[in-house]
Amino acid sequence: MGTRRTRKKNDLVGATEAVEAALQSGDMNSVKVEIYGSEYRIRGDAEPERIQEIAHYVDSKMQEVTNETALGSSLKVAILAALNIAGELFGERDDRNKLLAQVQERAEELTQAIDSELGD
């Protein structure tokens, strides 16, 4: 059990050092955003406009949960919004994987057809 905690702590220290190094090197952008009525300073390597777009999306999902439920706690709203966003992500991944499988199957069919024609 102690090894797992040490490993997690070391991972956290390493991640913190990486973030600090990126900030010092100027690779990360810092953007002030508003989500669910609170302001946050977000640091990331994405363009500021992209960070704003993502923050707006999270805010809209939280507002959507608020409008559809009678939850009073912002924590519960955030958790349901996160679950909704995760559900969307998993659905998109499933769709992408199905599409990739179809493309792979079609590519194999075309490769076989080409090989067949060239072999004649």
Dihedral sign of CA atoms 40, 46, 50, 53 in order: negative
pLDDT at res. 6: 45
Question: What token pair was written down for 40?
Answer: 């946050």
Mean pLDDT of the chain: 86
Domain layout of the chain by residue ranges: 28-119
pLDDT of 1 higher than 50:
no
Question: What token pair was written down for 90?
Answer: 């998993």
Q: How sure is the predictor about 28, in pLDDT bands with cuts at 50, 70 and 90?
A: confident
Question: What token pair was written down for 113?
Answer: 């057809």
62 or 7, which is more confident: 62
Q: Which of 67, 58, 63, 59 is nearest to 86 (CA)?
A: 58
Give Dmax (Cα) for the chain: 72
Q: How sure is the predictor about 36, in pLDDT bands with cuts at 50, 70 and 90?
A: very high
> How many angstroms separate the first and last alpha carbons of the chain?
65
Is 44:51 a contact under the CB 8 Å cutoff? yes
Residues 48-89: tens digit of each pLDDT? 999 999 999 999 999 999 999 988 899 999 999 999 999 999
Q: What angle do CA 63, 72, 34 make, to 5 degrees?
A: 40
